[in-house]
Structure 1
Amino acid sequence: FEIEYHFFLSSQPENISPEQLGKMHLFISFCIFGAFVSSLQVSGNTMDMERNEGFTRNKRSTNSDASYFFYQQPDYPRDCKEVFEQCDGESSDGVYLIQPDGYLEPFPVYCNNTVDGGNWMVIQRRMDGGVEFNRDWEDYKNGFGFPHRDLWLGNEKLAYITNQKDYEIRFDFVSKSGDPHFAKYNLFRVSDEGTLYRLVDVGDYDSTSTLSYDALPYNKGMAFTTRDRDNDLNSGNCASSYNGWWHKTCSYTYPNYPWSTGPHWHNFPGGNHNIQYIEMKIRPVE
């Protein structure tokens, strides 16, 4: 079922008019025996979340103002695969709460159970340019955007998630003429902030991928670079032109490229920037 949360924004996101700011909606889905968070607030950026404490683990409760049943302080699933296992594989695509090993609080992620066997967690999406990706280190660290629209999940979250087990990564694209394409790698891992969120592992390129150019391995081993933290090997700062990424000198793929030009993948059919939609997602390796 779906729970509708109402929340207020403490800072105005891009392309949201003042009239729209009032109450905004976030839909979080849960299976009947799944996780539930008792309150959700946005503070600082759209991915921040706070949770009420002081409840008994696994105690079933009701909200006096609504007919919702939920469990307080559950053992949250660690990724979208565990979300769907918890729901006996019956859950649809949507926003769910997860909590990786060692991470202090649960947070919302978009889970896709439709593409390529399902169990995917979306970590990046560009669909309409509604969120600015020219951000500093702290924004890329904490994440920004909306789970169901344009977003960057956050490097800190990626570090926790990808170091609890092995994950593969899939890039899905839609060209400006509406043609779908994808690129897939059988391993993806990001290090912690102490080592600059380095892209420590990029696996083999899946032979079923529909893009001819294997672009991501060029960035393997690189630290993350943002406009205010230059960790690339270029004489300048690649992020000043191409936004945050694991730049080298600079890259053959720019998923976070300024929207006015559009995301970039080298030798993409129809041109490097012939991309209207891009989504990056990860799931545990079987």
Structure 2
Amino acid sequence: MDLSGEFHKLQGVIDPQGLSRTCVTFQAKHLQYLHQALQCSDDAVLLLVLVPLASAGLLSQPLDCADVYNAGSNISGVYKIYPAGPTSPLYVYCDMETDGGKWTVFQRRMDGTVNFYRGWDQYKRGFGHAGGEYWLGLETIHILTLKQRYELRVDMEDFQGAKVHAKYSSFSISPQMVNAESDGYTLHVSGFEDGGAGDSLSYHSEQKFSTFDRDQDSNSGNCAVSYLGGFWYEDCHYVNPNGIYMWDTVNAQGVCWYHWKSNYYSMKAISMKIRPAV
């Protein structure tokens, strides 16, 4: 085998300009390794180089932030993932530091710059920007939880700087359904672990997602209209993370988590994030 020729082919395949920042350092190290291998005559050396390249994700795409972390990046920030396959990349915020990192953030509020009072189609496909406030999209969250088991963490902060969280060992959206939309993107969450916030989310488990233009809650009215958000409303909520961002709350319409601050306090920040369950 012409190892020199294979080296130049591989350089073309893993051009740093075409890679995410996650992989650039790893690529450089292994190109150097391959260059050193050119001094050898054993064809098996090439295989030994290609195997770690593939396992690091250089010859594939990361499914979620855990894959990004495992490929060598431990800095929180915006990364590209491919939950729906190589032709459908998405940008997400990855929390690589909290509680061991590897968290794929699917919901984030911190300054009120993005309007979360939106219709079904936008909640289905996602909106906002991964570097700021955003909603990843029901379909994407479903695809992720369809592929493997995930745990959920919800981090919260009030306007006085106090921080708490709630953690759940199991989180999924319509995990047995290929067409999750027909199932209403039903929430399944269990295994609560307290981090000071109390358990407000379990009340919403087994509920379908509701928006102002698709009412699927258990209330005789429309909870999304009454509380100005989109969520897995029951009758109606103990959690309203997608409510109106405000510095005060009127009738539970703000960004609420009942068992921490009641429904009459709107939080400064909240983020919902998932990672593969151990």
TM-score using structure 2 length: 0.73
> Which structure has greater strand proportion?
1
Which amino acid letter does the alignment assign opposite residue 255 of structure 1?
A: P
Any idea what SS the aligned residue of 2:24 has?
Answer: coil
Q: Distance in 2 between matches of 1:138 and 1:279?
A: 21
Query: C-alpha distance in 2, partners of 1:270/1:189?
Result: 26
1:245 aligns with 2:231: yes
Residue correspondence of structure 1 range 46-125 to structure 2 within 5 A: 74-87=59-72, 90-100=73-83, 104-125=87-108
2:145 touches 2:171 (CA, 8 Å); kept in 1? yes
Q: Which of 264, 268, 274 is the equivalent residue of 1:276?
A: 268
Cα RMSD of the aligned pairs, angstroms, is: 2.3
SS at match of 1:203: strand
1:189 aligns with 2:172: yes
Q: Which amino acid aligns with 1:206?
A: E
1:221 alignment partner in structure 2: 206
User: Which of 130, 151, 158 is 1:175 aligned to?
Assistant: 158
Q: Which stretch has the larger CA shift, 267-276 or 217-226?
A: 267-276
Relative distance call for 1:34 and 1:129 in structure 2 (3 A) is farther
1:277 aligned partner, one-letter code: A
Counterpart code for 1:254:
N
Partner residue of 1:143 out of 109, 114, 126 = 126
Cα pair distance change 1:131/1:32, threshold 3 Å: same
Q: Secondary structure at the match of 1:132?
A: coil
Q: What is the aligned partner in structure 2 of residue 163 from structure 1?
A: 146
Amino-acid identity (%)? 39
The code of the aligned residue for 2:206 comes to G
Contact 1:108 1:147 in 2 (8 A): yes
Q: Among 209, 216, 233, which residue is 2:218 paired with?
A: 233
Task: Confirm or deny: 8 A CA contact 1:254 1:264 kept in the other structure.
Answer: yes
Cα distance change on mapping 1:34 and 1:126 into 2, 3 Å? farther
Amino acid at match of 2:185: Y
Q: 1:263 aligns with which of 248, 255, 258?
A: 255
Q: Structure 2: where are the runs of 5+ without partners?
A: 1-15, 28-57, 175-179
Gaps of 5+ in 1: 5-27, 36-72
Measured against aligned partners, the alpha-carbon deviations of 1:16-53 in whole angstroms (never above 9, x if no partner) come to xxxxxxxxxxxx74331689xxxxxxxxxxxxxxxxxx
3-state SS of 2:268 partner: strand
CA distance in 2, matches of 1:267, 1:204: 17
Asked if 1:198 corresponds to 2:189, the answer is no
How far, CA to CA, are the matches of 1:270 and 1:249 in structure 2? Answer: 16
Contact 1:96 1:108 in 2 (8 A): yes
Partner of residue 57, structure 1: none
Amino acid at match of 1:164: K
Aligned AA (1:185) = Y
Q: Deviations over 1:163-186 (max 9, x none)?
A: 110111111011110111111111
Q: Partner of 2:196 in structure 1?
A: 210
Superimposed CA distance per residue, residues 173-212 of structure 1 (whole angstroms, 9 cap, x where no aligned partner): 111101111111111101211211111x2121114x212x
Q: Which residue number corresponds to residue 117 of structure 2? A: 134
The Cα offsets for residues 207-235 of structure 1, whole Å up to 9 and x where unpaired, read as 4x212x31111111111100100001111
CA shift for structure 1 position 141: 0.3
Q: Which amino acid aligns with 2:88?
A: E
Q: TM-score, normalising length from structure 1?
A: 0.71
Superposed displacement of residue 91, structure 1: 3.1
Q: Which has the larger radius of gyration?
A: 2
